[in-house]
Amino acid sequence: MLNTSVAIRDIAKKLLDEKKVDLIIGFEKGSVPLRSTPCFVRSTSEADRLIWNVNCENNLAKYLPKTKERVGIVAKGCDVRSIIGLIKENQVTKEQVFIIGIPCKGMIDRRKIEAKLDGKEIIEAEEEDDTIILKGHNLRETIKKEEFLHNSCKTCTHRNPVIYDVLIGDKVVEDQAVDEYREVKEFEAQSHDERWQSFSDEVSKCIRCYACRNACPFCYCQECFVDSSQPQWIGKTTNLSNTAIFHIVRAFHIAGRCVDCGACDRACPMGIDLRRLTKKMEMDVKELFHYEAGINLEDVPPLATFNPDDPQEFIM
Amino acid sequence: MQELEIAKTEVVSLLNTLIRKYKVFAPVEQNGFITFQEIHSGSEAFLDYINSKKPPKEIFFPQSERLFSYNLSKGAGWGVEEPTLEEKQKIIFGIRPCDARSLVLLDNVFDGKLYKDPYYTDKRKNTTIIAIGCNQPGSTCFCTSLGGSPFSQDGSDLLLVDIGQKYIIQVVTKRGEKLAKEHNDVKKAEEHSLSLMRDTMETAEALIKSKIEVQKVTEKLDSMFDDPFWDLVSEKCLGCAICTYLCPTCYCFDITDEVTGQRGERVRTWDSCAFPNFTLQASGVNPRPSSKERLRQRIMHKFNYFVANHGMAACVGCGRCIKECPVNLDIQVILNSILNR
Amino acid sequence: MKNPYLPLPMRVEKIVIETEDKNIKTFSVKFLNDEDEANFNYLPGQFAQLSVLGEGEAPFGIASSPTQPGELQFTVNKAGVLTTALHNLEEGEIIGVRGPLGNCFPLEAFESKDTIIIGGGFAFTTLRSLINYILHQENRSRFGNVVVIYGARSPGLLLYKDELEKWEVRTDLDLHLTVDRADKDWQRKVGVVPNIVKEIAPSPENAYAVVCGPPLMIKFTLPVLRDLDFPPERIVLSLEMKMKCGIGMCGRCNIGNQYVCKDGPIFTLAHLNELPSEY
């Protein structure tokens, strides 16, 4: 990890020095253990803040839509696919973006670690190659990184950036054997009532903070449907009807665009399994349109285009 | 100040007794985190915790609250109905001192000189607060910087201190005293218990490492409105409402009408100054168009404007915003940056 | 305890379309209950929250003067959800009112001084209340000269046209009407309000200036008043912000440590200069 951090700093300084970019978006050390935080660097003197570790869980592509600056962006496999999607949707141009690609073996889910520690708090966390040493009051424990990865990382099939301007480190082995839709299929196999109950239980936890929406790079609408007052599509209260509609409609809005980066899931403070709907959307788009979001710059997003000889009539 | 004590083994039975007469709220474990719920049996209470995910402000100021309802069918006339107010007395058991202090802070807003909010004040009037002090403050806690402490009595009627086998019960108000004296398991505290209590309190306070001079922050903010500082510090903010909704002292709300068929309600729902259209006017003008203005508003409101109006910062140092922010925007880092400017 | 969120019922007695584009209407409303009317004591400058059940609530300056008892008047510009709902009402329908809210113009300070009243567009509503209050025979003698400068984009967009005609012929006030763009029938001044203020050049001696209008008009009028030597303590403004509760609790309308709904909407320029420039 140290080498990656140094390499990122070096490329950042070079890009800023040569005025190839106005801004580097990366990560710096967080203010509490097991956190890294987005970092915006505009001068070479600040570039030493940049780091890379197993806590760089945010999708920095979030900060790209509508930017006028030329940006050098630190991006792991999933983030790069988001950037491709944003380019295809004209939210940023390819020329504006210098992708500093990082092959990724997965990010740590700190909430899984907290659950395992059963209330004991971490004062310090030391990252090693495959493990993390956790220290706290009456606490010293070593955990294996691979046992505490985010769920979206466990089923990731694009760990290596599919496009990049520079790649930091060697490519990692892709997991070809993983059944990334296993949980979706298990959920689908349940009865209608079971699925509705399970879904209602999940979204009942929602406090409508919209962190899921705001963390997602593809939620960049000037006015989100939840904020519209003329007409008002959904109410402001947290009753099941309002909350369920928010999540269902958002899942449909990002269908065909979502790359399962997990940003929504990670942002949610109430631990709602947000990927249940989005992963199902992803599977359906693959089966119906043979399309995977963000793999290359050429494939046309199926839900954003129309052909006269499409099998179904327009919209219906 | 009077000190009583109760054996930990008697707490469940104490709660059961209280449940017979009162509506009792206590921390329970649900979905992997702690939340304040009404309990129907003393064993449901989960007291070995640092703090709840959502602040107990929601007991007095629920996320969605019906202000009144009405009938829209022709011929129904004006037909506005206020909700009937809850008569049964309530107890909140096991709240942390920071959250108890936050209620005193919210009283400034909802129980003002000119206007009183009956939905909030009625609930406050009939609720007894029994707090449990923090032997093990959380890693993101900084209550001592805001005039609080792991054993602050502000806002409590009774404050419990965990000394191992027993809780010491510090009697803070007459209301608390009356409640405590109703129970046989509650005895006068023994002297050696009190000395153990003092040690426990001292140890716990020393565990809070963060010391921020909030008064100096308030002074500095007087002249920082146009400082470019706000551009830098707000750049990573996502503009979600996690910090505001999980904050025990945030209270901004929206009022809307929700209609189903012929029946409608005017409801109050939590809102957040972090949302882009919080200040958006119908004409399209928005005084706070970007995250810079909105983050500035949050910090200045909490640490400068609220101080000017009520003499205290609108923060109790509970640390929830630090723990839950998806991008690790840390309020302590912001406050220290302000001090260093 | 009185519930400050509960609106009181009022019947819409009369609806008058004020402007030729039909986007502005004045509603005359009367309390259903006499007791509610007796308790509604207001002064010029204050506002009330109007409710259309099922649609919502929004704040409106009270356009009538307390010297006109028996009914209240509100002038509404159709812009969003609630204003559209109001515009769709017919005479006889019931709306809800919460108020009076906010502070009023500093009438005691105005007494025995001249008042220069400057209004633009549809922000003229509470100024109309102020003017009618001052002109009332029980009050007039306590106030000095009254100069009114009122402008709109075009003649058809002026409010209260009947009243303006009556005011024009009065000797106890000096009315100057202006439009940005005249039509063929317009005989009076032409020019934006700030320029007309400059032209008339009212004296700041022993005088208060009251300014209500769209942000752009205010932006250009304030320097004119400054050049005329009006001190900030004697320039009075009425602010507009998005509001919800109207009672200083929901946090929406704050500017610095002040709430426009509770500490305002009337502020002197001197006071505003102490607040952050966020409006």
Q: What is the span of the domain harbouring residue B141?
A: 2-54+84-206
Using CA atoms, how far apart are residues B15 and B47, in angstroms rounded to an integer? 12
Same domain, B178 and B220: no
- Calculate mean pLDDT across residues B308-319: 96
- Which two three-digit tokens encode residue B45? 């209470």
**Predicted local distance difference test score (pLDDT) of residue C53:** 93
Are the CB atoms for B94 and B132 separated by under 8 Å?
Answer: yes
With CB atoms and an 8 Å threshold, state whether A35 touches B245: no
Q: What are phi and psi of B98, to 5 degrees?
A: -65, -40
With CB atoms and an 8 Å threshold, state whether C79 touches B282: yes
Q: B267 in a domain, yes or no?
A: yes
Same domain, B145 and B243: no
How near does any CA of chain B get to the CA of A263, in Å? 9
Q: Does C223 touch chain A (CB under 8 A)?
A: no
Instruction: Choose among A63, A209, A263: nearest Cβ to B241.
Output: A209
pLDDT surpasses 70 at B74: yes
Amino acid found at C83 = T
With CB atoms and an 8 Å threshold, state whether B254 touches A236: yes
pLDDT surpasses 80 at A316: no
With CB atoms and an 8 Å threshold, state whether A62 touches B64: no
Nearest to A157 by CA among A172, A171, A174: A174
Give me the helices (H) in chain A, please.
Answer: 2-17, 77-88, 110-117, 151-154, 182-189, 192-203, 211-215, 240-253, 263-267, 275-289
pLDDT surpasses 70 at C1: no
| Contacting C residues, span 186-205, partner chain B, CB-CB under 8 Å | none
- Give per-residue pLDDT as tens, B315-333: 999 999 999 999 999 999 9
pLDDT surpasses 70 at A315: no
Beta bridge partners of A132: A127, A143
pLDDT surpasses 60 at C90: yes
List, in order, residues 6 or more apart from B135 with CB less than 8 Å away.
B150, B162, B200, B203, B204
**Predicted local distance difference test score (pLDDT) of residue B321:** 97
Does the structural domain C239-279 have CATH classification 2.120.10?
no
pLDDT surpasses 80 at A312: no
Looking at beta carbons, which residues of chain B come within 8 Å of C56? 255-257
Quick one: pLDDT band at residue B185, thresholds 50, 70, 90?
A: confident
Q: B68 in a domain, yes or no?
A: no
pLDDT surpasses 60 at B87: yes
- % of chain C surpassing 90 pLDDT: 88
Same domain, B42 and B167: yes
**Predicted local distance difference test score (pLDDT) of residue A181:** 95
Q: Does B328 touch chain A (CB under 8 A)?
A: yes
Q: B243 in a domain, yes or no?
A: yes
Same domain, B279 and B174: no
pLDDT surpasses 70 at B1: no
- List subunits contacting chain B, requiring 3 or more Cβ pairs under 8 Å: A, C
**Predicted local distance difference test score (pLDDT) of residue A305:** 83
- Calculate mean pLDDT across residues C157-183: 93
Instruction: Choose among B114, B252, B283: nearest Cβ to C252.
Output: B252
Q: B8 in a domain, yes or no?
A: yes
With CB atoms and an 8 Å threshold, state whether A211 touches B53: no
Using CA atoms, how far apart are residues C28 and C91, in angstroms rounded to an integer? 9
| Gyration radius (Cα) of chain C, Å | 18
- Give per-residue pLDDT as tens, A153-181: 999 999 999 999 999 999 999 988 889 99
Nearest to C164 by CA among C177, C180, C182: C177
Same domain, B160 and B182: yes
pLDDT surpasses 80 at C279: no
Same domain, B103 and B230: no
Quick one: pLDDT band at residue A314, thresholds 50, 70, 90?
A: low
- % of chain A surpassing 90 pLDDT: 85
- 3-state SS class at C267: strand
| CATH class of the C107-238 domain in this structure | alpha beta
Does the structural domain C8-101 have CATH classification 2.40.30.10?
yes
- Which two three-digit tokens encode residue C25? 């209407």
Vertex C173: Cα angle to C169 and C176 (nearest 5): 75
Q: What is the mean pLDDT of chain C?
A: 93
Same domain, B186 and B228: no
Quick one: pLDDT band at residue B156, thresholds 50, 70, 90?
A: very high
With CB atoms and an 8 Å threshold, state whether C1 touches B304: no
**Predicted local distance difference test score (pLDDT) of residue C236:** 96
Same domain, B222 and B201: no
Nearest to B307 by CA among B192, B220, B231: B220
Same domain, B38 and B139: yes
Same domain, B197 and B241: no
Best probe of the C interface among B252, B270, B294, by most C CBs < 10 A, is B252
How near does any CA of chain A get to the CA of C81, in Å? 6
> Looking at the 3D structure of chain B, how many domains does it have?
2
Question: pTM of the prediction?
Answer: 0.94
- Give per-residue pLDDT as tens, B13-40: 999 999 999 999 999 998 888 999 999 9
Nearest to A294 by CA among A250, A254, A261, A259: A259
Task: Tell me the domain boundaries of chain A.
Answer: 2-109+149-302, 110-148
Vertex A23: Cα angle to A18 and A27 (nearest 5): 115
- % of chain B surpassing 70 pLDDT: 100
Residue of chain A whose Cα is closest to the Cα of B65: A237
pLDDT surpasses 70 at C184: yes
- 3-state SS class at A261: coil
pLDDT surpasses 70 at A134: yes
Q: What are phi and psi of C272, to 5 degrees?
A: -65, -35
pLDDT surpasses 90 at A120: no
Q: Does B31 touch chain A (CB under 8 A)?
A: yes
How near does any CA of chain A get to the CA of B17, in Å? 29
Task: Tell me the domain boundaries of chain C.
Answer: 8-101, 107-238, 239-279
Same domain, B202 and B218: no
**Predicted local distance difference test score (pLDDT) of residue B10:** 93
**Predicted local distance difference test score (pLDDT) of residue A6:** 95
Q: Does A222 touch chain C (CB under 8 A)?
A: no
How near does any CA of chain B get to the CA of C16, in Å? 22
pLDDT surpasses 70 at A242: yes
With CB atoms and an 8 Å threshold, state whether B114 touches C80: no
**Predicted local distance difference test score (pLDDT) of residue A66:** 84
- Calculate mean pLDDT across residues B187-210: 92
How near does any CA of chain A get to the CA of B207, in Å? 10
pLDDT surpasses 80 at B86: no
List, in order, residues 6 or more apart from A107 with CB less than 8 Å away.
A54, A55, A56, A57, A76, A149, A150, A153
How near does any CA of chain C get to the CA of A250, in Å? 24
Q: What is the mean pLDDT of chain B?
A: 93
pLDDT surpasses 90 at A152: yes
- Calculate mean pLDDT across residues C254-260: 94
**Predicted local distance difference test score (pLDDT) of residue A275:** 95
Residue of chain B whose Cα is closest to the Cα of C56: B257
Q: Does B46 touch chain A (CB under 8 A)?
A: no
With CB atoms and an 8 Å threshold, state whether B32 touches A207: no
**Predicted local distance difference test score (pLDDT) of residue A304:** 83
How near does any CA of chain C get to the CA of B332, in Å? 22
pLDDT surpasses 80 at A2: no
The ipTM estimated for the assembled molecules is 0.94
Best probe of the A interface among C55, C81, C83, by most A CBs < 10 A, is C81
Looking at beta carbons, which residues of chain A come within 8 Å of B54? 207
**Predicted local distance difference test score (pLDDT) of residue A274:** 95
How many inter-chain contacts (A to C, CB under 8 Å) are there? Answer: 6
